[in-house]
Amino acid sequence: MFGSQPSSQSMVPAAKRTKLKAYDLAPAQALNSMGVSRIESIGLLELEHMLSAGNKVAKYFSEYADDDPERKGVAISRMSQVMCLAMERLEGDVASKVLDKSVLRDAMKEVSEMKPYFTTLNGGMNSGNGSKSLKYATISALPKSEKDITFAAQKVFEWLNKPTSVLRSLLSFLSGGGCWYVCAVHEKSSRAYIKKGMSEQVFIDSSIKRLMKSGPADDGDDMGAFK
């Protein structure tokens, strides 16, 4: 009937998702696309509170907030996967050329010690559940014994509880609160449009229009009509 009120069933809000999408995760939520992320300086308890609060569509921003131990394991696996990727970059040739040798040496001691444990706890993005996505399918989770997992989890737990860590501090510095990443994306996007054909004159004119007032400048000269 025209003008009828929606049923009470249609007014029930949708349940918040607990299987998080990529843009629900803490790194995406923390990223400031035009500045420095608070993640660099926020206190741990405040961070936990914000991650557990979620928003109107996601129940939380980290599976650590889930009561189900298996879902907490997803968070551990995610963390372990990216830790392995970060460690691999530090092991590459470029790191030795751009980083202070003594800092890199101390960080690599931790990499050598901890990488096997993070590797053990890395279940891959899809935990080997046969995803048809190419990037997920390339991840193969090796069989792991409960003993190996227990030992690795103990070691990583101990490492996370250390009050200081050269590796952790280095990763924090290199992240720059996301600022360096954001800067690199904006800079490369500019080069992409120049490569596509944006001319120098358009670049100049666009800058002028963005930064200067439209119309004549207000210089306070009442004799302007006679000039």
Dihedral through CA 129, CA 134, CA 138, CA 141, nearest 10?
A: -10
Which residue in the block uniquely carries the two structure tokens 């190419």? 134
Confidence of residue 87 (pLDDT cuts 50, 70, 90): very high
Distance, in Å, from the CA atom of 66 to the CA atom of 195, rounded to the nearest integer, reads 46
* Structure-model confidence comparison of residues 213 and 185, the more confident one: 185
Cα 63-133-186 angle, rounded to 5 deg: 75
Task: Write out pLDDT tens, residues 134-156.
Answer: 454 444 455 688 999 999 999 99
Q: Which residue shows structure tokens 């007014």?
A: 11
Confidence of residue 7 (pLDDT cuts 50, 70, 90): low
Q: What is the DSSP string of 10-38?
A: TTSPPPPBSS--GGGSHHHHH--TTS--G
> Cα separation of 164 and 122, whole Å?
23
Per-residue pLDDT, 168 = 94
Residue 204 above 70 pLDDT? yes
Q: Dihedral of CA 14/18/21/23: which sign? A: positive
> Hey, what are 183's tokens?
């800067």
Q: Rounded distance, CA 5 to CA 58, Å?
A: 28
**b (16+ CB within 10 A) / e for 180-205:** eebeeeeeeeeeeeeeeeeeeeeeee
pLDDT of residue 129: 46
- pLDDT of amino acid 124: 76
pLDDT tens readout for residues 29-70: 999 999 999 888 889 999 999 999 999 999 999 999 998 988
Per-residue pLDDT, 38: 85
Residue 86: Cβ within 10 Å count:
17
What is the mean predicted confidence (pLDDT) over 92-120?
95
CB of 16 closer than 8 Å to CB of 57: yes
Residue 115's pLDDT band, with cuts at 50, 70 and 90, is very high
Domain ranges (residues) in the chain: 14-67+176-211, 71-162
What pLDDT is recorded for position 138?
42
